[in-house]
Every structure is written in C-alpha cells, then in structure tokens.
Amino acid sequence: MGANSEINEVHTSRLGTQFERVAAYLRDRDPHRRRSYWGYIDGNCERPAYALNDSDQSVTFQSECLVPRDHRKRPKVLLLFSNAHPESIKNGMFHTAEGGIAALWTDLCLADLFSGDCRIIGNADQLRAHCVRAEYEGPFAFGLACYWLFPTFDPSHLKPMFGSKMEPPGFEQTEQRFDRLLEDWKPVGIICFNKTVFKQLTDGDIGANVIERLRNEVIRSEYRMGDRAYPIFLTYPAGWRFDPNAGQLRQASLRRIAAIILSAAGRQ
C-alpha cells in the first residue's frame, strides 16, 4: 500500500495475539451500532486506509500530518485533532467531508482565519496544496496533526482494538512523537479539538460542562516540554453540531482563541 498523498505516511504494526481482534473489528461488514471499516481495507477500494496481512498477523495503515512548507512570516499555530478519519486518509487531506464541505474549513473562513472558495475547500487535492503552500489569507500559518496515529471513524473505536494505549503495537510512544513535531515546527500555540487529548497533554481537570463553558470562556493551559511551555487551547470538536447555533459557537470560540494568540505573538 502506497501513501495516498504527500501528507500521509504508511506504517505497519505486527499485532501478534491482537491480530484476530483487530482484523475482526475492521472486517466486520455489519457491526452493531457503528460503521463498518470494510470499504477502507486494501482490496475493497482503490485508495485504502488499511491492509491486513493474515500470514504475518500485521496491519498496515496510513496516518496524516501537514505542516506548511513556508509559514510566510506568520505565527505558526497547530490545529490538533484526536486521530484521522478513514475518509480523510482515502482523500489524502484532513477534514474532507464525505458529502459537501467539512465544517472546519467554513468555520475557519467565517472566523477570518483562513480563505478559500468552494472550489478549493471542496476539493481534497486543491485544499491540500492550498494548506501546504499556505496560500490562504489570514493571521496564521496552520499546521494540522493528529495525536493518535491509527485512523478511525471515532476515537472511541481505538480502545476496543488496542486497549488503553490507543495505539497499535510498536507505536505507543504517542507523547514522544508529539514532542518531535513541536520541536521541529515550533508553533506559538496549539488549538485542540478533543477534550480527552487536551486533558492528557495538560494533566489537568477541566471539570464538567465543558461545552457550556466554551460558549463564553476560553479554556487554556500549557503543554510543557522540558523548559519550554506551549500554550494550548480547547475548542469545540470540529464537527460538533448539537445546538441550533453550533456553527456560530464554534466560530466565536476560534475568534477568542485567535485574539489571545495574536496578542501574545505581538509581545514576543
């Protein structure tokens, strides 16, 4: 299996005794109360996210990470997600919706943090090039990354396959991998779209009613790596829609976070 795009990377995990459980989970064509991964396995589609090898009890999969080639003298901000969606892996670009345009891109545009017409943000190849080259208008150069490597429809699907570490065998060094990304790219801030990842990175108790707090509050902390502290902000999940005004709430949260990052960057 080759990488589906320049932002994808191919990995192989030898599962050993875990193989039967993981293979059954991915191959189940009619699972109870969740979507099937059958259509994303090599042999069942042209641009797979997964390949299963019964003879050596391994799974090959693709991850995604995008950092622009040139930040164009803008502050660098990392957009951090839980893990990739198989459809994004198939398309070769973060948050490329199965039907229409993903809310992340319209939110960033409407919050005046990104630019791109429907022709660009509705096409995975054009959107990827737009982001890799940082050709959009806005105050930041955005990198996009996932905390966990293995793609699933929902991060809750990782634990049934891989247990509490949420990673396949051989890829459990999640925080060290994240540290390398930060050391290489050095963003001025991190915007996190998943509260579990936020809590894991900050070791903090963010309390209850997080969604209600995000309506008017900026939830922020620091991720410490050696003697360096990276400001990290929690926002709504990118596809959160459980409110009549969900889009406006997501966009307002991004604007508040952006104002704080810009203010801090101006003082540096």
User: Where does the pLDDT of residue 85 fall: very low under 50, low under 70, confident under 90, or very high at 90 and above?
Assistant: very high
The pLDDT of 80-97, averaged and rounded, is 95
Report the pLDDT value the prediction gives residue 97, as an integer from 0 to 100: 75
CA–CA distance, 231 with 182 (Å, rounded to integer): 12
Helix or strand or coil: residue 166? coil
User: Where does the pLDDT of residue 209 fall: very low under 50, low under 70, confident under 90, or very high at 90 and above?
Assistant: confident
CA–CA distance, 212 with 7 (Å, rounded to integer): 35
Report the pLDDT value the prediction gives residue 98, as an integer from 0 to 100: 73
Report the pLDDT value the prediction gives residue 201, as an integer from 0 to 100: 95
Q: Is 129 a residue whose pLDDT tops 90?
A: yes
Q: Which token pair is 85?
A: 């969606």
Domain 64-267 in CATH 2.60.120.260:
no
Q: Which token pair is 61?
A: 């999969």
Q: Is 22 a residue whose pLDDT tops 60?
A: yes
Q: Is 267 a residue whose pLDDT tops 60?
A: no
Q: Is 234 a residue whose pLDDT tops 70?
A: yes
**Would you kindly state where each structural domain of the chain is located, as residue ranges?**
8-62, 64-267
Report the pLDDT value the prediction gives residue 76, as an integer from 0 to 100: 97
Q: Is 66 a residue whose pLDDT tops 80?
A: yes
Q: Which token pair is 110?
A: 């409407």
pTM for the whole thing?
0.95
Question: What pLDDT digit, counting tens, does each position of 191-204 carry?
Answer: 999 999 999 999 87
Report the pLDDT value the prediction gives residue 6, as an integer from 0 to 100: 97
The whole-chain average pLDDT of the chain stands at 94
DSSP 41: B
